[in-house]
Chain A
Amino acid sequence: MHIVDRRLNPGGKSLANRQRFLRRVKDVAQRAVRESAREKDIRDLGKDGRVSVPVDGVREPRFSRQPGSGLQDHILPGNKTYVEGDLIERPPGGGGGGGAGEGGEGGENSEDAFQFVLTREEFLELFLEDLELPDLAKRRLAVVETEGLRRAGYTVTGSPANLALTRTLRNSMSRRIALKRPKPDELAALEARIAGLREGDPALPDLKLSLELLRERSKRIPYVDPIDLRYRRFEPYPRPVAQAVMFCLMDVSGSMTEHMKDLAKRFYILLHIFLTRRYRHVEIVFIRHTDRATEVDEETFFGSRETGGTLVSSALVEMKRVITERYDPNDWNIYAAQASDGDNVSSDGPTSTELLRSHILPACQHFAYLEVGDENGPRAGFVEHRTTLWRTYESIAKSGGAIAMRKVNHRREIYPVFRELFGRKDARTEAEA
């Protein structure tokens, strides 16, 4: 007899089968991923995704008999009432009596649609493929490292400032209980009894003796002993500045159509995936603006549609405010992506330029401007018809501002544009040339 321990064998033996299965249901899976990209929050995207596959897509047909056709026999256990020749009313829904006789008809037909869970990798692969995305991993951004300190348990030595009080007292208490240190109540009770007795009472010497013993014991077993002391221990470790904040700025004035917002959302999602793969912690700030700007949650950001003038600088002011309040550029990698159809009050140009040049751009790692257009392409060649905002930003870019700008009309252009915007420096200049 042999015993073989297979537990350490590499698992995931069915990975290859899983891949084949995914390839088989790719259309379904991709549709599901696409749907979820539309419905899910940016933050949740790329977590495990549920995909439900209709059986029809992955049906394994076999020759089987049609249930309910022809004469069928059922042998059933547990008869209580019937005798031979009884007639039983046909149970609703046709088919067999009481329950289907085992193996009587092909079991294959009873399958339902079933759900399975995509792993994160599988999900992203499908998602990025939808955007015609090869791999993001090649892109690289500078990562700053600093020295950090983190908690690393307790030690028995340390500075008083690091005394771990709770832990120390817990030790002390368990020691007191273990060594049976008299409680203050017991002492007090004994003292009270002694005080209550008259001098010369025969019990007095005994009580005094035991009081003496208890006091002695209290002294020998201190309330807090040096061996109880614990100090918090800290350990230095190299800490990458692993946090980033991503500003999503969007014009929500009436001229922004759902299609444009969808484009913008896709761009933001890509940016988010990109950043979460690079940083441990990514925050998102949504700022929408018409002629006034506010910080909102995601739902409002993509859902709302307002009327009113467009004043881009309002969004920049809001962004500046948030940065000053919450995101110190020394601690945070700041990214911003602005999506707009490009309409702006022309008088706003100088204000925006000034804000960008002296406040926003110096704080940002990267500022991208995405001009979203109509699905059917530029109305009349966009080189001639430059929008107000485009012209404003173009002048900044020309005078050396670190701002990247692209125009997209169709979903399929998102990834290439993203790639240009977030590619390495040399690749970017090449693309711009």
Chain B
Amino acid sequence: MVGSLSRSTSRTIAGSTGPLFTGNDWDFDTIRRIHDACEAIAGPELGLSWYPNQIEIITAEQMLDAYASIGMPLFYKHWSFGKHFAQHEAGYRRGLMGLAYEIVINSDPCISYVMEENTATMQTLVIAHAAFGHNHFFKNNYLFRQWTDAEGILDYLDFAKGFISRCEERHGHQAVEQVLDAAHALMSQGVHRYPRKKRPDLASEQRRERERIEHGEQIYNDLWRTLPSKPGATRSDAAAERRRALLELPQENILYFLEKVAPRLRPWQREILRIVRLVAQYFYPQRQTKVMNEGCATYVHYRIMNALSEKGQIGEAAYLEFLQSHTNVIRQPNYDDRSYGGHNPYAIGFAMMQDIARIAENPTDEDRAWFPEIAGVGDGMGVLRNVWENYRDESFIAQFLSPKLIRDLRLFHVVDDPDEPELRVEAIHDERGYRRLRRSFARQYDVAWLDPDIEVVDVDLEGDRRLILHHKALNRITLQKDDARRVLQHLADLWGYDTVLKEVDPATGAVLAEHTASARPIFF
């Protein structure tokens, strides 16, 4: 799931008289007309490309259901989804939160859920936002192309759901729940952050093996056998080296490591780890592109709605209603505002997209100095398409956050050093600050930087099979103790033997903290 335009107060403005629809009501024919009108703008004018659209109308209750299973139309069963449902429902009932207007799924065809209670204007906005904006981003961004299989995801989830429910029948709810709990705890340590070497398939493996043997036979010389072995490197060092290579250590994808190597897991348990890991991997690009994805969708809906309004396809009342929702979505409260809750990805994303288009089409001298590649090239949309395709939040901000925008947002950088009595303002929106501010801001969106860097470094296979992990404590920030202990317990349970997690200061190599856990005999 990505991109839920969060709902603000839904004020309705009645009586629009555009040709696409009048008033607030819509029917399927209206939706079709809206979609086609958006398509006529998204394609020829904006040059977007997208997966075929599938728009599904759902009720508020179904929206709550969808929330509970992280937005996926089908998902395996687990208590945590029930918990989230209960939380959301309670919040919704008490009026503490609104529901999203839409949920989009990165799949081919791209499924957008829209709620039946949206007004016709909102449906237009949502379709422009989700069915074209997000859809384009999913289809074209390099991370999604690299990591997600839009065609296969729904089938895979269907398989996962079936598999897990069969496991529940066969091994009991409790047993499955324990594995899922453990796997969920390690979910954010269950992704490959970088593309790995492509594994050869069986046929080519066989062919290579044959070639190797043939080559060996050709160069065989019995004399080699009589060479004395090299002194120096001891046997055990080489063995350890070889073992680590075989286990692909160090390994940051802990779930992958357990799935492949954990000695005592049964096949169905490994399969569950795999399912959780693949789901985590599927969502990983979305975590890395929140700002860009929302920015792209928001920019696209803004362009489409304006084009529709210019063509007279939506009336003034509808346009006003759209503007109200739009400004709500891109509102960024200041840090001292009571409603401040961090950076709003919609606001940052949208502002940056607009800024990029401005730089491409209407650059100032400052822009020319900062962005020589894009300043004044003219085709703002072309630049944006290129950006959407080739960046993620961190590189995007590092590359394109302009001094003007830093000034507009009045960004400043505060450093909180626990050893100092006071917070220090490190940089502000001035000549000296732009680059430093941009660098540290980009880093806030670097998921690999934000997630604790934890690796499996070694395992004593010949001794007590103890699993050793290291946490590289960046800036000496250690892990939250309670949670670390709990997760490590899950990890030990899966591994089946003792497990130790050392928190290491990467600068000095000093061990800052150490957690240990012994496996409980619950899985076996």
Is the Cβ of B425 less than 8 Å from the Cβ of A83? yes
Query: In this complex, what residue of B is CB-closest to A86?
Result: B425
What residues of B have a CB within 8 angstroms of the CB of A74 in the complex? 413-416
Known: A79-B411, A88-B425. A1 touches B477 (CB 8 A): no
CA distance A12 to B109 in the complex (A): 25
Cβ–Cβ contact A79 & B428, under 8 A: yes
Closest Cβ neighbor of B420 among chain A residues: A87
Q: Inside 8 A of B415's CB, which chain A residues have their CB?
A: 71-74
Residues of A within 8 A of B409 (CB): 77-78
User: Complex Cα distance A272/B55, Å?
Assistant: 49
Known: A73-B440, A88-B422, A98-B335. A63 touches B428 (CB 8 A): no
Nearest-CB residue, chain A, relative to B412: A79
B79 touching A79, Cβ below 8 Å? no
When distances are taken between beta carbons in the complex, the residues of chain B under 8 Å from A139 are none
Assess whether A87 is in contact with B422, with CB atoms less than 8 Å apart. yes
Return the contact of A75 from the options B58, B81, B113, B411 (Cβ within 8 A).
B411
Alpha-carbon distance between A87 and B415 when the two chains are bound, in angstroms: 10
Interface string of A3-45 (1 = CB under 8 A from B): 1111101011110111111111000000000000000000000
Q: Which residues of A contact B332 (CB under 8 A)?
A: 77
Bound-complex Cα distance A69 to B473 (A): 10
On whether the beta carbons of B177 and A114 are closer than 8 Å, the reply is: no
A148 within 8 A of B: no
Let me know if B443 is at the binding interface, CB within 8 A: yes
What are the interface flags for B469-504 relative to A under an 8 Å C-beta threshold, 1 for contact and 0 otherwise?
001011111111111101100100000000000000
Task: Answer whether residue A235 sits at the interface, using C-beta atoms and an 8 A cutoff.
Answer: no
A109:B480 contact, CB within 8 angstroms: yes
Interface contact B342-A22, CB-CB below 8 Å? no
Cβ contact of B428, chosen from A6, A24, A83, A87, cutoff 8 A:
A83
Stretch at the interface among A53-61, A191-199, A327-335, A421-429: A53-61
Flag if A71 contacts B417 (CB, 8 Å).
yes
Of A59, A77, A82, A100, most B-chain CB atoms within 10 Å: A77
Contact indicator A65/B478 (Cβ below 8 Å): yes
Using an 8 Å CB-CB cutoff, how does the interface string of B26-41 with A read, 1 for contact, 0 for none? 0010011001100100
Counting chain B CB atoms within 10 Å of each CB, which of A4, A13, A24 scores highest?
Answer: A13
Picked from B57, B177, B342, B440, the residue with its CB within 8 Å of the CB of A5 is B57
Please judge, given known A-B contacts A75-B413, A82-B425, A104-B444, whether A116 and B90 are in contact too, CB under 8 Å: yes
Q: Give the residues in chain B near A19, CB-CB below 8 Å.
A: 82
Is A226's beta carbon under 8 Å from chain B? no
Flag whether A177 is at the interface (Cβ < 8 A): no
B433 / chain A contacts, CB cutoff of 8 Å: 84
Stretch from A89-97, A157-165, A209-217 contacting the other chain = A89-97
Known: A18-B82, A24-B79. A2 touches B414 (CB 8 A): no
Flag if B410 contacts A77 (CB, 8 Å).
Answer: yes
- Asked if A145 CB lies within 8 Å of chain B CBs, one says no
Residues of chain B within 8 A (CB-CB) of A117 are 89-90, 93
Per the bound structure, the CA–CA distance linking A16 and B337 in Å amounts to 41
Bound-state Cα–Cα, A284 to B486, Å? 51
Q: Closest Cβ of chain A: how far from B95's Cβ, in Å? A: 15
Contact residues, B65-99 vs A (CB, 8 A): 65, 68-69, 77-83, 85-87, 89-90, 93
> Beta-carbon contacts of B412-455 to A below 8 Å, as 1s and 0s?
11111110011111111110110001001101110000111010
Question: Does B475 contact A71, Cβ atoms closer than 8 Å?
Answer: yes
Q: Nearest Cβ in chain A — how far from B63, in angstroms?
A: 10
B188 located at the interface, meaning its Cβ lies under 8 Å from any Cβ of chain A in the complex? yes
Count the B residues whose beta carbon is within 8 Å of the partner chain — how many?
102
- The listed residue with most B CB atoms (<10 A of its CB), out of A12, A24, A61, A87, is A61
Give the residue among A4, A16, A19, A63 with the most B Cβ atoms within 10 A: A63
On whether the beta carbons of B450 and A103 are closer than 8 Å, the reply is yes
Known contacts: A1-B53, A3-B55, A75-B437. The answer to whether A62 contacts B187 by CB under 8 A is yes
Q: In whole angstroms, how far apart are the Cα atoms of A101 and B449 in the complex?
A: 14
Query: If the complex has contacts A70-B478, A82-B425, A88-B425, are A2 and B54 also in contact, measured as CB distance less than 8 A?
Result: yes
Contact B53 A102 (CB under 8 A): no
**A70, B411: Cβ atoms closer than 8 Å:** no
Closest to B416 in A: A72
A11 contacts B59, C-beta separation under 8 Å? yes
B487–A62 CB distance below 8 A? yes
Determine whether the beta carbon of A84 is less than 8 Å from that of B486: no
A65 and B471 alpha carbons, distance in the complex (Å): 11
Q: B62 contacts the other chain (Cβ, under 8 Å)?
A: yes
Closest A residue by C-beta to B82: A21
Q: Does B141 contact A (CB under 8 A)?
A: no
In this complex, which of B82, B90, B454 has the most chain A Cβ atoms within 10 angstroms of its Cβ?
A: B82
In the complex formed, the residue of B with least CB distance to A99 is B340
Chain B nearest CB: distance from A133 CB in Å? 23
Residue contact B79 to A58, C-beta cutoff 8 Å: yes
With an 8 A cutoff between CB atoms, is B457 at the interface?
A: no
A4-B56, A58-B83, A89-B422 are known contacts. Are A77 and B411 too (CB-CB below 8 A)?
Answer: yes
Complex CA distance for A13 and B76, rounded to whole angstroms:
11
Interface residues as binary, A91-135 with B (CB distance below 8 Å gives 1, 0 otherwise): 000011111111110101100001111000000000000000000
- Give the distance in Å from the alpha carbon of A65 to the alpha carbon of B413 in the complex: 20
Is the CB of A68 closer than 8 A to any CB of chain B? yes
**Quick one: closest B residue to A80, CB to CB?**
B410
Q: Select from chain B the residue with minimum beta-carbon distance to A17.
A: B82
Q: Taking the complex as formed, is A236 at the interface, i.e. its CB lies under 8 A from any CB of chain B?
A: no
Identify which of A4, A7, A66 contacts B55 (C-beta below 8 A).
A4
Q: When A4-B54, A70-B477 are in contact, do A62 and B81 touch as well, CB less than 8 Å? A: no
B contact residues around A71 at 8 Å (CB): 415-418, 475-477
Assuming A18-B82, A87-B422, A101-B342, is B486 touching A61 (CB within 8 A)?
yes
Given A1-B53, A86-B425, A62-B483 contact (CB < 8 Å): yes
- Asked if A106 meets B473 with Cβ closer than 8 Å, knowing A70-B418, A114-B86, the reply is no
B513 to chain A, nearest CB (A): 10
Q: Does B341 interact with chain A (Cβ within 8 Å)?
A: yes
Determine whether A153 belongs to the interface, using a CB cutoff of 8 Å to chain B.
no
Q: Bound state CA distance, A61 and B484, in angstroms?
A: 7
B464 proximity list for chain A (CB < 8 A): none
Asked whether B311 is an interface residue with its Cβ less than 8 Å from the other chain, the reply is no
Q: In the bound complex, how far is the Cα of B197 from the Cα of A418, in angstroms?
A: 70
Enumerate chain B interface residues (CB-CB to A < 8 A): 28, 31-32, 35-36, 39, 52-59, 61-62, 64-65, 68-69, 77-83, 85-87, 89-90, 93, 109, 113, 116, 173, 177, 181, 184-185, 187-189, 332-337, 340-343, 409-418, 421-430, 432-433, 437, 440-441, 443-445, 450-452, 454, 471, 473-484, 486-487, 490
List the 3 shortest-distance A-B pairs measured between CB atoms, nearest first: A78-B334, A102-B342, A21-B82
B-binding residues in A (CB < 8 A) = 1-7, 9, 11-14, 16-24, 58-80, 82-90, 95-104, 106, 108-109, 114-117
* 27 interchain pairs, CB-CB under 8 A: A1-B32, A6-B62, A12-B61, A12-B65, A13-B69, A14-B69, A20-B78, A21-B83, A65-B477, A66-B477, A70-B475, A73-B414, A75-B343, A75-B413, A76-B412, A77-B334, A77-B410, A78-B335, A86-B424, A88-B422, A89-B423, A90-B421, A90-B422, A97-B416, A100-B342, A103-B342, A116-B87
